[in-house]
Chain A
């Protein structure tokens, strides 16, 4: 299966992708594909695409999937040095981008940049259904989120990217997907492929606008299928126009979904199907859970859904999926055990017939999607002249999932603790990003240090 085949079966004037100012019809995508078919320079090469806007990116994906040997999706938001590093690791030969000046061509010897402006160079020759040349098997290269480390590249086949994509469009009300994610990230590409392969319209949110306005736009355009992280869903439910979204399909992914957000969504959209997805860029989509409860049924450990296998080892979830690659593109080994299972780094616990997520084994705190290393914040606190020792930990929060909180043992006890607390938070604010600053600081007499001299993290 490729991307263009199902599109060729749709009416020429059907709008498939729409943003506030632009739209892409089936005809546009057909012409873009026809153009790529004639372009020898694309065939069997390692091509990268980097677009700020989702519309030309979708056009490029449709044109290149099945034509290029490798298709690298390079998020436009990446730091320039990181982007160049990825291009070099992927040995990209041709980069198609709408921001040509930001990536100097000189860094990569084989690199050639095509400026893909908004020109929809129609050549006047429509590609007729059935006229498509035989597609080749394109490998899709995606960057891991890399919020705490350098992003790594993972190779996917089209089959592994679309393993759980539902292609059958449901009868009755027409589906309209909304895209809130970056189209070049794993979660975003899942939404794009879901919409294109089922022939449903994809609305692209005006990403430069605040979330309020993005949700207003979706509500006006009748968006009824939406995928977002639990943190983003909490924010969506705080936007007044969320009440006007006629949602039929709600997908949560990227973080563990807690019971509160699942029940709030169920109360707000009683007729919607709610699925939370467990996925990683490494393993591809793992599985989805649709029973409205957090975690997943314990039975999945015996018989995993959609051909995947799950096991718990050392308190962590391990996953094995079909069509999974075992190394990153730069040949670094993935954390795979002797049975071929990937260590997801997610700590889990079996409770009353469910497997529930506890957090990351690395101790990293997820604050509404931003990752915080507790040790990093402790180092900053410990550099305050009054601090003897500190312990930084996650505290569950209904709005962001988790917040950073701290316990501090002081060298001496001052008269005015309230002022010291304010001053210490201001001290952290100067040295840390807003989401890294402890939301609350509690002064304690002592902190437990374990036998290896480290702060006891599990209170």
Chain B
């Protein structure tokens, strides 16, 4: 994970899941993109979370002491960034 940031991995897997489910080109994600308006539905995000765990071993939602559900892409990424930061210290 040194060369790729967690944000890059999320972007890449988002695109993979999107192509797989929608069979079209994925939209560009910005920090303010509302997850459920990104074109991927809640099933898509559930799959994304499972694939991220498969790829990185990170499962931050299950490990959070205070459960939290992100609304926007930046909130989603920051959950994983915090998980990476806490794991590396």
**A-to-B contact residues, CB < 8 Å:** 210-212, 234-235, 237-240, 242, 259-261, 263-264, 267, 367-368, 395-400, 403, 405, 422, 425-426, 429, 434-435, 439-440
Check A368/B43 contact, CB under 8 A, given A210-B36, A239-B36, A260-B61. Answer: yes
* B42 cross-chain contacts in A, Cβ below 8 A: 234-235, 238, 368, 399-400
* B54 cross-chain contacts in A, Cβ below 8 A: 440
CB nearest neighbor in B for A400: B46
Answer whether residue B1 sits at the interface, using C-beta atoms and an 8 A cutoff.
Answer: no
* A367 cross-chain contacts in B, Cβ below 8 A: 43, 46
Check A238/B47 contact, CB under 8 A, given A212-B36, A368-B42. Answer: no
B41 to chain A, nearest CB (A): 9
Query: Within the complex, which residue of B21, B37, B45, B64 is in contact with A399, where a contact is CB–CB below 8 Å?
Result: B45
Bound together, the chains give a CA A400 to CA B61 distance in angstroms of 12
Check A234/B50 contact, CB under 8 A, given A260-B62, A435-B43. Answer: no
B30 to chain A, nearest CB (A): 14
Bound together, the chains give a CA A425 to CA B43 distance in angstroms of 15
Bound together, the chains give a CA A133 to CA B54 distance in angstroms of 65
B87 to chain A, nearest CB (A): 18
Chain B interface size, as a band, is 20 to 34
* A264 cross-chain contacts in B, Cβ below 8 A: 66-69
Query: Within the complex, which residue of B37, B69, B72 is in contact with A237, where a contact is CB–CB below 8 Å?
Result: B69
Question: Does the CB pair A240–B71 fall under 8 Å?
Answer: yes
* B70 cross-chain contacts in A, Cβ below 8 A: 238
Query: Within the complex, which residue of A212, A263, A439 is in contact with B37, where a contact is CB–CB below 8 Å?
Result: A212
B58 to chain A, nearest CB (A): 12
Bound together, the chains give a CA A325 to CA B71 distance in angstroms of 44
Question: Does the CB pair B67–A260 fall under 8 Å?
Answer: yes
Query: Within the complex, which residue of B21, B34, B64, B66 is in contact with A240, where a contact is CB–CB below 8 Å?
Result: B34
Bound together, the chains give a CA A416 to CA B63 distance in angstroms of 33
Bound together, the chains give a CA A259 to CA B45 distance in angstroms of 20
A392 to chain B, nearest CB (A): 14
* B71 cross-chain contacts in A, Cβ below 8 A: 237-240, 242
A298 to chain B, nearest CB (A): 24
